[in-house]
A = this chain, B = another copy of it.
C-alpha cells in the first residue's frame, strides 16, 4: 500500500547484520586510534552549504522550510557540521581533536549501483594539527580499517595528491588559464578520450603543445619532475608536503597502499592540501570507494580560530561493493544460543531457565506464540538455535528437562537443578 521512497533502503536483519559488522570494524579501529565518538544532527541550516560549497552538493540538497520559516536541509555530508561544532567549543576542546561518527546522509542524486539518496558514512577527522603526521594518521586509520575488513593491498589503493600541485603547475604557465576548467578536465580525464581531454585543456587556455605536455606531466606523476617543471614556491611546498605525508605514512604502515596520482582532484571546494581517494585496484568497482583530505581553511571561514583539519569518510555503499567484489563481505549470521521449548503448561519453569541463561549473557528465545512442539522446533531451527531445552510436563514431574543438540539431533534428560546450574554455557556435551 505504501512504498519506500526511491534511493532509500530498508535493511532487514540479514543485510543489517552485514552493515553492522562493517561499521563495527571501522569504529573499533577508530577507537584504537583514540578517536572519540560524537553525535550530530540530521538537519542544519541550508546556508551552511548554499553560502559557499560546490554546486555539486547544492543541487542535490534535500532542503525545505521548517514550520518557523527556517531554510534547512538534510545534511549531505558531515564536514560543515563538525566544523561548526569545533567553532562552538574551540576554547574548551583540547587539541588535537579526534572525532569519529557513523550515520546517514542525504543527497538527491541519480540512483545507481552503490549510490543511494540515503547513504551511510563513517567520518573520521583530526582538528588542530597541520603536521604531515595528522594526514598520515588518517591514511593509516583508513588502511587499518580496510585490512581489518579483510581487504589487502591486492584489493585497494589510495590515490594521493596535493591540491596545490595541479593549480600550481597551471599557474606556472605564462598564459591566461581557466584553472577550474583545466582541473575539471583532469578530473574527467580517465572517463574521456585523450583527444577530448586535450581539447578541454585547450579550451581552458593552454596551447595544443602545452596541453599535451601538461597531460603527460600529470599522468606521469613524478614529483621531482613536477617540482622542476613548475619551479614555483607553491608547487615546491606542495610536493614537499606530499612527500612528508608519504614518509609519515611509511612509519605508520600505510605507505604501501598509496599511489601518487596527480589526477586525483577531490570535487569539494574546501580541500586545501593533501587529497586522496580509495579505488578498487582491479578497477572492477569503477567509481572512487571514498575520499578524504586536508581542509585547513574551513573552520576559520566558519568564524573560528584558524584550525587545520584533515579527515576521511568511507561510504558504506561503495565500500560494500568492494568487499563483495573481494569476497570478504561479512555474510549474515543469525545465531541463537538456546531455544527453550514449552510442552503443555510449563511456562513458569521454561521462563526460569530462559532468565537464568540470559543472565549469563546468552541469546535465548522461548515460545511467545502458543505454538505446537513441531512449530517451535522449526522456529528454533530457523533461528539456528545451538541447543534446545525442552521443558515438557512429564519430564518436569520428574524434575527433568531434555537438552537437545540441534546439529547432531542427540538429546538427553538432565535434572532441572543442573540446568544451567553452575555452568556458564551448558551444552549437551556437559551431560553426556
Contacts and interface: CB of A to CB of B under 8 A. Distances in A.
Interface in A118-137: 118, 126, 128-129, 131, 133-134, 136-137
Name the residue among A13, A15, A47, A248 with the largest chain B CB count within 10 angstroms. A13
A45 B87 contact: no
A380 B358 CA distance: 39
Interface string A368-381: 11100000000100
B251 A351 contact: yes
Contacts of A369: 95-96, 128-129, 131, 133-134
A115 interface: no
Interface in A84-116: 84-85, 87-89, 93-96, 98-99, 104, 106, 108
A9 interface: yes
A184 interface: no
A361 B96 contact: no
Contacts of A234: none
B5 A44 contact: yes
B96 A5 contact: no
B358 A33 contact: yes
B348 A379 contact: no
A248 B363 contact: no
A83 to B, nearest CB: 9
A1 B87 contact: yes
A302 interface: yes
A3 B252 contact: no
Contact of A47 (B2, B15, B48, B89): B2
B129 A347 contact: no
Contacts of A66: 5, 62, 108
A253 interface: yes
A241 interface: no
A367 interface: yes
A108 B66 CA distance: 8
A382 interface: yes
A263 interface: no
A243 to B, nearest CB: 15
Interface stretch (A35-43, A213-221, A274-282, A404-412): A35-43
Nearest to A355: B253
Contacts of A37: 13, 16-17, 20
Interface stretch (A67-75, A199-207, A320-328): A67-75
A362 interface: yes
Given A41-B5, A42-B42, A131-B369, A363 B32 contact: yes
A74 B4 contact: no
Nearest to A29: B358
Q: Which of A3, A5, A363 has the most CB of B within 10 A?
A: A5
B36 A84 contact: no
Contact of A34 (B70, B128, B336): B336
Contacts of A40: 10-11
A45 B279 CA distance: 35
B94 A358 contact: no
Contacts of A162: none
Nearest to A40: B10
A4 B41 contact: yes
A24 to B, nearest CB: 12
B12 A89 contact: yes
A303 interface: yes
Query: Closest 6 CB pairs between A and B?
Result: A11-B39, A1-B303, A64-B64, A13-B36, A129-B369, A8-B41
25 contacts: A1-B87, A2-B84, A2-B302, A2-B303, A5-B70, A9-B39, A10-B39, A11-B39, A12-B38, A13-B38, A16-B36, A32-B363, A34-B363, A34-B365, A43-B74, A62-B66, A64-B65, A66-B108, A94-B382, A96-B369, A96-B379, A131-B368, A131-B370, A137-B368, A248-B347
